[in-house]
Amino acid sequence: MAIPPRSVQIPSVAETALLSFTTSRRCASMERPIADFSSRIIHGLHAAKPISLTKRVLIAKATKDRGPFENSAMDTLDLALVPASGFISRYAASEPRKGSDILVEALEREGVTDVFAYPGGASMEIHQALTRSKIIKNVLCRHEQGEVFAAEGYARASGKVGVCIATSGPGATNLVTGLADAMLDSTPIVAITGQVPRRMIGTDAFQETPIVEVTRSITKHNYLVMHIEDIPRVIREAFYLAASGRPGPVLVDIPKDIQQQMAVPDWSHPMRLQTYQERLPKPPEQAELQHILYVISRSKKPVIYCGGGCINASEELKEFVDLTGIPVTTTLMGLGVFPSSDHRCLNMLGMHGTVYANYAIDKADLLLAFGVRFDDRVTGKLESFARHATIVHVDVDSAEIGKNKPVHISLFADVCLALQGINNLIKARSLTYDFSSWLDELNAQKKKWPLTYPDLADEICPQYAIELLHKVTKGAVIITTGVGQHQMWAAQWFKYERPRQWLSSGGLGSMGFGLPAALGAAVAIPGCPVIDIDGDGSFLMNIQELAPISLLQLPVKVVILNNQHLGMVVQWEDRFYKGNRAHTYLGDPRAENSIFPDFCKMAEGFKLPSSRVCRKHDLQAAYKKMLETPGPYLLDVIVPHQEHVLPMIPTGGSFKDIITEGDGRKKY
C-alpha cells in the first residue's frame, strides 16, 4: 500500500467555503484541478515526530493486547473540547464577546502564557484583545520572521507549542520561512494571521494574500476561519495537531470581520480529527520489539543513529545504552539527546561529523536508526551509507521509513514507547550484551582522529573560541546559532549534555535564526542564560530583535564569530572554485583592514553593553565580563576567514572521501 505524503490537508468547513468563494478567479491558473483537493480528505493528516509522554498518553488509543505496555496509563482519546482544569473565564457564560476575545480565551485555555506578535491592520483586534488578557503577555518582536523564529526557539527550549501572530499580506508572508523551518525540523508552533474581511477575499484587496494557499505545502495543516463559532474548535485542533505525532507548524487565518463579530462561544464542540487520530502510531507490539532484540543479539558491531525524533526519549535512550553498551552517534538535530561526555558517545555524524562516528557507520553490521530521516547531509552517497549494516528504522512518521534509504526492519512507532518496551524486555529476561571489542576499536579511532584546530599564535581560532566558551560556562547554558561555519563549529566544540540545550536551524538552514531563537528560549525558560553563537552574516539578518531583548533585559548573550565573510560559502569557494570570491566578502572593500559593520555601535544604539576582542590572550577575560554582566550582552570576536570546518565529506561523497586537513591558506 502506498504511503501517503507527509503533509496532506483536511479542509475544514471554513476552507470548503473559501474554495467555493475563490475558485472562479483562481482555478484557471492552478496546476492541479480544484477537484483533486478532495482527495486529501481521504488520506487525512499524517502523523509525526514524538512529543512529551504526558501528551502521548492523551493521544494514544487503548489496545486490548498491550504487550510490554500493560501498566501504561493509556486511554482512548476524548475528542470533546473541555475547559482546562480550573480555568475561569473573565466573561459570564452567556456574555457575548468579540471573535478576537474568543480567540485569546481559546489560547488561554490551551495554557498559552506568551505570544510573539507584531500588529497590523488585519490583526489589530487580536492585539486589542491581548491587552485585556491577564494571562498572556506579548513579546513585541520587530519583524515577523523574528517572531516566528522566536516562537520556534520557545517551543524547542520548553517543549510547549510556540505561538506567533501576524497581520495579513506582507505580515503573513514574512512568516513563510519560519513555517518552512518548523516543518522541516518538526517544531510545534501555531501561527495566527489576520486576514481581510470575508467579503474582500479574492478581490486583491489591500494587504491581501491567500496565506492558506501559500503555506499549504509547508505546514502540517492550516485553516481559514469563516464562522466565528469555529474559533474554539479550530484553536483546540491547531494545538493538538501541532503537538501530536510528528510535531509541526499549523496556521490559522482569521478574517478581520470575524475578529470583530460578537458571539457567545461554545467550548464543548468536539474536534473533527478522527481520521488523523486513527493514523497516529499505536504502541509497538511485543513481537516487533523481540525482532529488534534478535538482530541486536546477532550483531558484533552495532551503532545507534539518533536524531531530533529522540528529543523526548533521552532517558529511555540512555537506559537502552546502559543495558546494551551500544555506541551512539547523533545528527545535528539530535545533539543533546545523549550526553556528549559519555564514553559511548561518538558525537555528530555526517558531512561535518567526527571521523570516528562516520567510521562506525561505515563498519557497522547493525544500524539502529531512531527518530531520523536519513538526510543527505548525514548519508552522503546513499548506496555507500551503512553499506554492511542491517538497518532498523523506528520513527513516528511512516512516510520517512524507506523514503531515502531502504531498511530491513521498520517500526512505525513513537521512539519513546518503543525504547520503553525494548528496555522492559531486556530487564525482564535479564539479557546481557558484550560489545567491548567494538568499543575498543572505536576508541582507537577516537585517539587517531580527534577533532583538532591550528595554533594561530595570538589570532583567535573560531574552534578555540567555542571550546573556551564551553569551559567558562561549564555547559550550563542554552545555545542557539545562525547557519554557516559557526553553526558547525558550535555543534562540534560545545558539549551538549541534555536535550533542548541546542537550538539550531537544521533542515532548512535559515540564516538569521540564532538571535530570535535565543529571544524565544529566554522567554520560555526565565533566568536561564542563553548564548547565541552567530556569524556576522547570519546575525545581520535579524539584528532588529536586539530591541525586545534589550527592553526586556533578557539574559541573552551574543557571541559573533566575525570573519567579515560568508564563511561556509567561502570554504566551498576555496575547495571547489579555486578560491574565486563571488560576492562572499561582507566587509568594506574601501577599507579592508577595518571591521564593517561596527556591531558594537549597533549594540549601543539598542542600549546593549558590548565589546570587541581580537586577540586570543584577551578572550577569556572578555567572556568573564560578558557572563558577569546582568541582562543582554554582545561580544564581537574577530576570527580569520581562512579556517575551514573539518572533517568534511563533500556532497554526494562517502566515508572514503572524507577531508581532514587544509584551510583557505592553501590552493586546491
In the set 333, 348, 351, 568, the catalytic residue is 568
Respond yes or no: is residue 145 known to be catalytic.
no
Lateral strand order in the sheet of 390-395: 345-348, 328-330, 302-306, 366-370, 390-395, 409-412
Respond yes or no: is residue 144 known to be catalytic.
yes
C-alpha cell at position 630: 546582568
In 3D space, the residue among 148, 124, 433, 472 whose CA is nearest the CA of residue 296 turns out to be 433
In 3D space, the residue among 165, 256, 188, 207 whose CA is nearest the CA of residue 51 turns out to be 188
3-state class (DSSP) for residue 301: coil
3-state class (DSSP) for residue 535: strand
For 112-169, give the DSSP string.
--EEEE---GGGHHHHHHHHT-SS-EEE--SSHHHHHHHHHHHHHHHSSPEEEEE-ST
Stated as kind and residue range, the H or E segment containing 523 is helix 514-524
In the set 61, 124, 207, 315, the catalytic residue is 207
In the set 30, 206, 262, 553, the catalytic residue is 206
Using alpha carbons only, give the angle 359, 362, 366 rounded to the nearest 5 degrees.
115
End-to-end CA distance of the chain: 49
Dihedral sign of CA atoms 616, 622, 624, 627 in order: negative
Alpha-carbon span 383 to 379, nearest angstrom? 9
Respond yes or no: is residue 206 known to be catalytic.
yes
Alpha-carbon span 61 to 75, nearest angstrom? 6
Determine phi and psi for 188, rounding to 5 degrees.
-80, 105
In the set 49, 98, 256, 495, the catalytic residue is 256
According to DSSP, the residues that pair with 97 across neighbouring strands are: 263
Exposure of 144 by Cβ count < 10 A (0-12 exposed, 13-18 middle, 19+ buried)? Answer: buried
Q: How far is CA 20 from CA 10, 14, 23, 27, 255, in A?
A: 16, 10, 6, 10, 16
For 375, left (φ over 0), alpha (ψ -120 to 50), or beta?
beta
Respond yes or no: is residue 370 known to be catalytic.
no
C-alpha cell at position 632: 543582554
Is the peptide bond prior to 597 cis by the omega test (within 30 degrees of 0)?
yes
Is the peptide bond prior to 327 cis by the omega test (within 30 degrees of 0)?
no
Q: How far is CA 642 from CA 465, 508, 564, 565, 663, in A?
A: 15, 25, 11, 10, 6
CA-based R_g, the chain, Å: 25
Query: Which residue do the cell numbers 546477532 mark?
Result: 298
Alpha-carbon span 431 to 657, nearest angstrom? 39
Determine phi and psi for 336, rounding to 5 degrees.
100, -20
Q: Name 1's Cβ contacts closer than 8 Å, sequence gap at least 6.
A: none
Q: What is the DSSP letter of 503?
A: E
Alpha-carbon span 488 to 500, nearest angstrom? 17
In the set 15, 108, 125, 144, the catalytic residue is 144
Alpha-carbon span 620 to 630, nearest angstrom? 18
Query: Catalytic site residues?
Result: 144, 206-207, 256, 568
